[in-house]
Amino acid sequence: MASKLFFPISVPFFVILLPFFFASLSYAAESNNNPNKTVSPGSICVHTPYPSFCKSLLPNGTSNVYGYGRFSIQKSLSQSSTFFNLLEKYLQRGSSLSTTTVSALQDCRFLTGLNMDFLSGSIENVNRTSWILPDLEADRLQTFLSAILTNQQTCLDGLKETGSASSVTNGLLGTISNNNKLYSVSLALFTKGWVPSNVTWKPTRKHVTFRNGRLPFKMSSRTRAIYDSVRGRKLLQSVDDQVTVFDIVVVSQDGSGNFTNITDAINAAPSKINPTDGYFLIYVTAGVYDENVSIPKSKRYLLMVGDGINQTIVTGNRSVVDGWTTFNSATFAVVATGFVAVDMTFRNTAGAIKHQAVAVRNGADMSTFYRCSFEGYQDTLYTHSLRQFYRECDIYGTVDFIFGNAAVVLQNCNIYPRLPMSGQFNAITAQGRIDPNQNTGTSIHNCTIRAADDLASSNTNTQTYLGRPWKEYSRTVFMQSFMDSLINPAGWREWDGSFALSTLYYAEYNNTGPGSDTAARVTWPGCHVIKSTTDAVNFTASDMLLGENWLPRTGVPYTGGLI
């Protein structure tokens, strides 16, 4: 029943009108911020990190944020294509280039190809509407546009790693710098025009787990009967979901399976699987597989299952010291959407003396690692780009051993800093966010941080820090995790003087253990101790990854919110 409005005689009339007055002001403000409003390039460019460059880029005349955004993204695709052709031209020089330069240029070509894919897909979507996109679609496109910046920066970092001031590298630096600005402008305009200011999509549940906490069928048999009995069955059964496997191959070194190495099994997988088809399962039996594995973008929705940590082991020893780029030093690299790995160990055995030596490089969107181990020293786990989730994994390393610029949540994992070279310190994370509009960051949630056996038993005074800012907008959060006494009371360490100390975002929330005391933490402007649950929720699997949209189909257990 509607209630009647009643105003006492003593209340002045202007007081009665105040709510209506403020409502009209709000409406006026909303109208002024209307993204369809026509404005000049100078007016729209103030919302980007590079206003002058943006103004020089956009055409004369007036448009709205959608017109400018489409122009910028289309320009980004055109420039990526030009850059790709330039790289091809340099690579045709072949023997006149050093091995390290060729390796860096090949990385750049590969990453630029990915950028062209991301931009082509983005253009198709932004051309469909001149309004704010639904949350899931906006997050997906913002993820892609964030990744093109990361890919271009990785190209630049690789060229710098060569250490040579050749005509090739010098000739590319100016182009890369302008590309970075262009991609940043595209991301800023997309964020302003198409990304909702508040996420309205809400998950339907907060926790998923396997039935009985394990795989529902035995993976130990090496006979053809496994192939016949498993084909078409439901695997990784969760409380509410079942994961369909439409085909399976077995990798076994004794010749009893379909393949004797992992690479051949990947090559045999069908290309461009759709998520509705289910997973192509590669069962890798116990053994040590000494091979550098790469899963290309066409091999989507692969499910790779081993016999357990320290049972199924993939190992390699590439390193920067031995002439590889950090990007291409990985023992195991994946870029294919929807990849899932379970019960495996990934190693890089180059050792601390070889510096950057990656065990796993992950640039696969909506990828998941469950009950896996990552073993290395410097740069062990390269969470390169896009959206990633790790659950109940072990990560071993020394310097910057969880690094990259993905949107990534590590949940219920064990993090083991180990003994570095003499004179070195340990930094658990080195997050590489380079732009304020990137939706990237590292969230370490409900994990345990303890010294590895070699560090725990040593008599050295090795200092271990939560992280340091690899790039200007580095973003890392530790939440509800146990930190043992090895963590330096300062918590965080500088990268280079005052670099990024005011632009980074480092935060801690409700951690426990002797290393979690924040009383003596650094007082940089970008460091925070989160007090509000509302703020902490932003870094959970449900909010940071919108994981409820894709994690259930992996069958991997997860907690969507805080514990």
Active-site residues, by number, are 400
Is the torsion defined by CA of 5, 7, 13, 14 positive or negative? negative
Task: Return the amino acid letter for 142.
Answer: Q
Q: Which of 83, 64, 221, 98 is nearest to 166 (CA)?
A: 98
Sorted by sequence, the CB contacts under 8 Å of residue 398 that are 6+ apart come out as 352, 377, 378, 417, 418, 419, 420, 421, 424, 426
* Nearest CA-CA partner of 428 in 453, 406, 410, 454: 410
| Beta-ladder partners of 286 | none
Q: Are 426 and 404 in contact (CB under 8 A)?
A: no
Distance separating alpha carbons of residues 365 and 297, to the nearest angstrom:
10
Q: How big is the CA angle at 227 (ends 223 and 230), to the nearest 5 degrees?
A: 120
Q: Is 559 helix (H, G, I), strand (E, B) or coil?
A: strand
- Dig out the tokens for 341 from the structure: 């790995």
User: What is the distance of C-alpha 427 from the center of its chain?
Assistant: 19
Copy the structure tokens of residue 456. Answer: 């725990």
C-alpha dist (Å) from residue 117 to 80, 147, 201, 349, 481: 10, 11, 27, 34, 38
**Burial (0-12, 13-18, 19+ Cβ within 10 Å), 240:** exposed
Tokens of 276: 């509705």
Q: Which residue has the tokens 């970092």?
A: 157
> Which residue type is seen at 555?
G
Do residues 365 and 335 lie in contact, with contact meaning Cβ atoms separated by under 8 Å?
no
CA separation, residue 52 to residues 42, 73, 402 (Å): 8, 18, 35
Bridge partners, 68 (sequence order): none
Phi-psi region of 293 (alpha: psi -120 to 50; beta: other; left: phi over 0): beta
CA angle 433, 438, 442 (to 5 degrees): 50
How is residue 545 written in tokens?
């990854």
Nearest to 379 by CA among 310, 324, 298: 324
Residues 6+ apart with CB under 8 A from 492: 465, 466, 467, 468, 506, 521, 522, 524, 527
Cα torsion 308, 309, 311, 316: sign: positive
Listing DSSP states for 317-354 in one string gives ---TTTT--TGGG-SEEE-STT-EEES-EEEE-S-GGG
